[in-house]
Structure 1
Amino acid sequence: MSRQFFVGGNFKMNPNSVAEKKVLTTLLNQAELDSSVEVVVSPPSLYLIPLKEILRPEIKVAAQNCYFKDSGAFTGEISPPQLKDAGIPYVILGHSERRTLFHETSEIVAQKTKAALASGLSVILCIGETLEQRESEQTTAVCSAQLQAAVDILSEGDWSKIVIAYEPVWAIGTGKVATSKQAQDTHADIRAFLTKAVSPAVAAATRIIYGGSVNKGNCVELSKQPDVDGFLVGGASLKPEFVDIINATKA
């Protein structure tokens, strides 16, 4: 099955000024981008609407998080209906920084995913293992358990609006990157899990993207792997090389 290549840029808590945001926007608006690739960028919530208004229309915007309640006394949170109303089509959920720094469990991530889908959002659902878990050969078990929480409360049809981002925690922002074989093997294991836990059709159709120090130097080789359907890019999404990563399959 042909799956559309997907490249997301997670700006995290960057940029630090409107001026920096304009530089990034100008770069993306003027770049020659592969039209066959779905491109999504995720700025801090403060910049979601302004960025959406000035980016070229084929580049979509994603929130970096949302809550699982539609409204209420939840200071500091953003609800899925609010994102939908603002015209934001995607939200990143379950990023390792949310899991480790803010103590979000897989069950909470699953609740957020269900709420986001119910409001009509698409979800970039992040999973991944620590270095200790990788070295003790628990990668498949950890990724499967993180996904199982979502499988338990979602319907088969929900998965059509989910992109799974495999992000080994040990490779995020460290400069380390999984080899193309490590990425492919893990993506294949995730697809095998979906086959058994959800359905073969969902497994074949779901895009599984790689995140973990993706850059201009490693993106082409990674993009050639049959089960790597794109990237979720961190630091490099703030630099000109993000254009090269978007165009990796054309290189």
Structure 2
Amino acid sequence: MMKKKIIVANWKMNYDLHETTSFLRNFLKYINEKKIFHNKEVIIAPSFPFLHISNQISQGTSLKIAAQNIYFKEKGSYTGEISAYMLKSIGINIVIIGHSERRNIFFEDENSLLKKLKIALKHKIKVIFCIGETYEDRNKNNQYSIIEKQLNNTIFNCSTDEIKLIHIAYEPIWAIGTGSTATINQIKKMHKFIRNIFNKKYGNFISNKISILYGGSINHLNAKDIIYSDNVDGGLIGKSSLKIEQFLKIVQS
């Protein structure tokens, strides 16, 4: 059976209540009419205040709702944080962890990311785990060692059973929101490298099974070429997922 392509919309800190609900209702109305969910999984990650209503709107459809972050403690005096238990209580079973904006702006290191990963997996929450190199890393040809280090310090501490709940999202930091997309050749090489090191760690079955998404300035013009490249199983979309016409074109592509 062909592996489903996975399209993830990361809305970051955008859209208020009205904008969120309006987008979701219009999006669902269109895709239900056109039946464009065939052979693909579509996930949208709105802001925290709107997760519950977003999940309610998507009930009974194939659209899935994800959280953009999670905290690694079960509960307690952690002002402003969101626990796995809270997410599960409103029906959220997918979370994005390790996005470069969390690493760079909020100083999340690999130790805290591993803890977040483990708490999500403990509660059977699927994880979209982001990895990627900086422009400086790429310029020095260190991108492969950086990616392997990021995986060694986080994902590769997971069991074979836990790996089944994880999608990898490769996002070269220099391409996120900049309009500078990695070339198809660069994407193919990196995704092949990632799959190969999963093969070395977990074997052929797991390495073929795991979904490796690409993120970094994907838009409706380049999405098809990127997402149907070798070893690419989908896309993590930022800015282009906020415009319904563009996002629909990406999903349809």
RMSD in angstroms over aligned alpha carbons?
A: 1.3
Q: CA deviation at 1:197?
A: 2.2
Q: CA deviation at 1:202?
A: 1.3
Cα distance in structure 1, aligned partners of 2:148 and 2:75? 31
Q: CA deviation at 1:199?
A: 2.3
Instruction: Say how many residue pairs are matched.
Output: 247
Q: CA deviation at 1:152?
A: 4.5
Q: In 2 relative to 1, CA 164–152 (structure 1 residues): closer, same or farther, beyond 3 Å? A: closer
The equivalent residue for 1:19 is 18
Cα distance in structure 2, aligned partners of 1:203 and 1:152? 12
Cα distance in structure 2, aligned partners of 1:152 and 1:6? 22
The equivalent residue for 1:42 is 45
- Segments of 5+ residues of structure 1 without an aligned counterpart are none
**In structure 1, what residue type is equivalent to 2:140?**
S
Alignment check: 8 A CA contact 1:126 1:165 kept: yes
Alignment check: 8 A CA contact 2:132 2:171 kept: yes
RCO greater where, 1 or 2, for CA within 8 Å and sep 6 or more?
Answer: 1
Percent identity over the alignment is 37
Q: CA deviation at 1:193?
A: 1.1
The equivalent residue for 1:139 is 143
Q: In 2 relative to 1, CA 212–84 (structure 1 residues): closer, same or farther, beyond 3 Å? A: same
2:65 aligned to which of 58, 61, 67: 61
Q: In 2 relative to 1, CA 79–5 (structure 1 residues): closer, same or farther, beyond 3 Å? A: same
2:251 pairs with 1:246: yes
User: What is the TM-score normalised by the length of structure 1?
Assistant: 0.95
Give runs of ≥4 in structure 1 deviating > 4 Å.
Answer: none
Give the secondary-structure state (helix, strand or coil) at the position aligned to 1:63: coil
1:79 aligned to which of 79, 83, 86: 83
User: What is the TM-score normalised by the length of structure 2?
Assistant: 0.94
Q: CA deviation at 1:154?
A: 1.2
Give the secondary-structure state (helix, strand or coil) at the position aligned to 2:216: coil
Alignment check: 8 A CA contact 2:44 2:66 kept: yes
**In structure 2, what residue type is equivalent to 1:55?**
S
